[in-house]
Structures are given as structure tokens and as C-alpha cells.
């Protein structure tokens, strides 16, 4: 207890009922927000099919858990105010007079914590981007040209085969660089479970790279609203063994020779 300037007894700030209530709500909602937000994001995209996706999911978890206490505090303060500060009298309540009092210490703390969180997100994010873009310069990578057009993706396999297809086949554990472009409007090439996404712009070639590390069938989507049938602009990527991939390329080349 301490005395304020009018001589009345004043409770220490952290012993006040509002503060205790806010702290309690904060402690309860923070883990709920963190858990629900990470799990909803992670599960909606399926199991990772590349190292990049695994590290992206990891990054999403870290960022979401770092942000959860901030969201929790905003929620707790709002809930406290909404639940216990309603007033129905004709005249303003006495505490309305002291409602807006600036606290330099609280401001300083808020700025410092925000700055630290931003710095943390920046550094951790830049390290992840650096790591992910390393595969772009891999000399052993195979190269595929990706073309977006309303509303289909097509793939040209370089390396002399001359094969063009509207499904993507990739050998497992082999780095691949995509050269992405569009013939009409802007699209965005996105392999969901491999965690890569890059704009497909008419007149430009953008590049992204990945090493698929799991055999299976995964989703390719367009991630840029590109017209009426945008939602249907999707197909599959089949990740297969090197032998199956070679057989598929061979079969496709024969097919194209026969129809030429
Ligand atoms: Cu599109």
C-alpha cells in the first residue's frame, strides 16, 4: 500500500483486480492461441515433401509461438475492459477522470518488446531464406520450364528429351530448378507440400528450386487470382524413383514422336 497525492490509500498496480484478471486471461489464452494457430496452418498443408517445407513449417511454428503472447495480451486486455468496465449510469463514473494516463515506463517496455520481436523475426526469416535459395545454384540440378496460362500449367523437360506435359513428374531426391513464366496474366506457381511458390509473370522468367524427398503425389496450385477459373488451375506432381522417371520420359518422348 502507498499513499497518493490526495492522501487516499492506493493499491500497488500489480495487486489491482483488473491487472490480476488480465494476467489470468493472458496466461490461459496464450497457449490456446499458439496451439490452434500452428496446428490449423500446419495440418491444412499436409505432410512436408521437401526439406524446404519442413523448415517452413518449423519457421511458422516459431513465429506463431512468438506472436501468441502478443495476441493473448491484446485479447486479455480487451476481455477485461469489455467484461468489467461497462457502466450504465447517467453521469461518467469517477475513474473515467483518470482513464487516460500516460505511463512512460509502459510505453518504453512496449516499444522495446516490439522491436525485439521484429528483430527476431527479421533475423530468423533471413537465415531461412538464405538456406532455401542455396539450392538455386546447385550444379547437379535438373531444369524444368514451367508455363502458366489461363487456366493450366505446362512443363517442358529440358535435357534433350523435348517432352512437354501438363502433369509434373520428378525423380525423388534430385534437385530441380524451375524456370517459371506466363503467356497471359500473372499466375503464381505453388507446390503446396514442397513449400515453394513463385510468381509467373508474362515476359519474365522467375526461378525457384527444390529437392523433393518423398515419393508420392502432391498438389500444384495457382496462388494468384488469375481470372474466372483460377480455382481450377491446379494439377499434380508425381514424385517417383529415378528409374520410373526415366521410363516415363522415354514413354512420353515416344508418344510425342508418334503424334508429331
Ligand atoms: Cu493462375
pLDDT (mean) for 44-54: 86
Do 175 and 138 form a contact (C-beta atoms < 8 A)? yes
Give 181-238 pLDDT, tens digit per residue: 999 999 999 999 998 999 999 999 999 999 999 999 999 999 999 989 999 998 899 9
What does each C-alpha distance from 61 to 49, 55, 71, 247 come to in angstroms?
A: 17, 10, 15, 40
Whether a cis peptide bond, with omega within 30° of 0, leads into 151 is: yes
What count of Cα atoms within 13 Å lies in the side-chain half-sphere of residue 160?
2
Q: Enter the DSSP assignment of 256.
A: H
pLDDT of the residue at 10: 61
Q: What average pLDDT is seen over the chain?
A: 85
To the nearest whole percent, how much of the chain has pLDDT over 90? Answer: 45
For residue 1, what pLDDT band results from cuts at 50, 70 and 90?
Answer: very low
Centre of ligand 1 to C-alpha 19, Å, is 50
Query: CATH class for domain 139-259?
Result: mainly beta
Higher pLDDT, 64 or 104: 64
Centre of ligand 1 to C-alpha 166, Å, is 14
Centre of ligand 1 to C-alpha 211, Å, is 24
Centre of ligand 1 to C-alpha 225, Å, is 6
Centre of ligand 1 to C-alpha 25, Å, is 44
Centre of ligand 1 to C-alpha 232, Å, is 9
The residue extents of the domains of the chain are 9-85+102-134, 139-259
Highest mean pLDDT pick, 45-49, 71-75, 128-132, 247-251: 71-75
d(CA 64, CA 66): 5
Residue 8 confidence (pLDDT) above 80 = no
Centre of ligand 1 to C-alpha 158, Å, is 23
Burial of 104 per CB tally in 10 Å (0-12, 13-18, 19+): exposed
What does each C-alpha distance from 18 to 25, 84, 161, 256 come to in angstroms?
A: 11, 8, 71, 74
pLDDT of the residue at 2: 43
pLDDT (mean) for 95-108: 70
Centre of ligand 1 to C-alpha 182, Å, is 9
pLDDT of the residue at 97: 61
pLDDT of the residue at 3: 45
Centre of ligand 1 to C-alpha 56, Å, is 23
pLDDT (mean) for 33-42: 89
pLDDT of the residue at 58: 87
Give 127-151 pLDDT, tens digit per residue: 888 877 777 777 788 899 999 999 8
pLDDT of the residue at 96: 63
Centre of ligand 1 to C-alpha 194, Å, is 18
For the entire predicted model, the pTM comes to: 0.75
pLDDT (mean) for 251-258: 79
Centre of ligand 1 to C-alpha 202, Å, is 12
Give the chain's length: 260
pLDDT of the residue at 87: 73
157: number of Cβ within 10 Å:
21
Higher pLDDT, 74 or 138: 74
To the nearest whole percent, how much of the chain has pLDDT over 70? Answer: 90
Centre of ligand 1 to C-alpha 228, Å, is 10
Higher pLDDT, 226 or 256: 226
Amino acid at each position: 500500500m502507498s499513499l497518493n497525492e490526495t492522501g487516499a490509500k492506493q493499491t500497488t498496480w500489480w495487486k489491482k483486480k483488473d491487472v490480476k484478471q488480465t494476467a489470468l486471461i493472458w496466461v490461459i489464452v496464450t497457449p490456446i492461441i499458439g496451439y490452434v494457430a500452428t496446428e490449423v496452418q500446419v495440418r491444412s498443408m499436409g505432410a512436408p515433401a521437401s526439406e524446404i517445407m519442413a523448415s517452413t513449417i518449423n519457421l511458422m511454428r516459431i513465429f506463431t509461438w512468438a506472436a501468441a503472447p502478443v495476441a493473448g495480451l491484446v485479447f486479455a486486455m480487451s476481455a477485461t475492459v469489455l467484461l468489467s468496465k461497462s457502466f450504465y449510469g447517467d453521469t461518467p463514473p469517477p475513474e473515467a477522470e483518470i482513464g487516460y494516463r500516460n505511463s512512460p515506463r509502459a510505453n518504453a517496455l512496449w516499444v522495446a518488446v516490439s522491436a525485439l520481436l521484429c528483430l527476431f523475426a527479421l533475423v530468423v526469416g533471413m537465415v531461412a531464406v538464405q538456406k532455401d535459395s542455396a539450392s538455386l545454384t546447385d550444379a547437379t540440378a535438373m531444369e524444368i520450364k514451367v508455363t502458366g496460362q489461363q487456366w493450366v500449367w505446362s512443363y517442358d523437360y529440358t535435357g534433350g528429351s523435348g517432352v512437354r506435359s501438363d502433369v509434373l513428374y520428378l525423380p525423388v531426391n534430385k534437385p530441380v530448378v524451375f524456370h517459371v513464366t506466363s503467356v497471359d496474366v500473372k499466375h503464381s506457381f505453388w507446390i503446396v507440400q514442397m513449400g515453394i511458390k513463385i510468381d509467373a509473370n508474362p515476359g519474365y522468367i522467375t526461378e525457384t528450386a527444390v529437392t523433393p524427398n518423398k515419393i508420392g503425389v502432391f498438389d500444384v496450385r495457382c496462388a494468384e487470382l488469375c481470372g474466372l477459373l483460377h480455382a481450377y488451375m491446379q494439377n499434380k506432381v508425381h514424385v517417383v524413383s529415378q528409374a520410373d522417371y526415366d521410363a516415363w520420359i522415354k514413354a512420353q518422348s515416344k508418344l510425342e514422336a508418334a503424334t508429331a
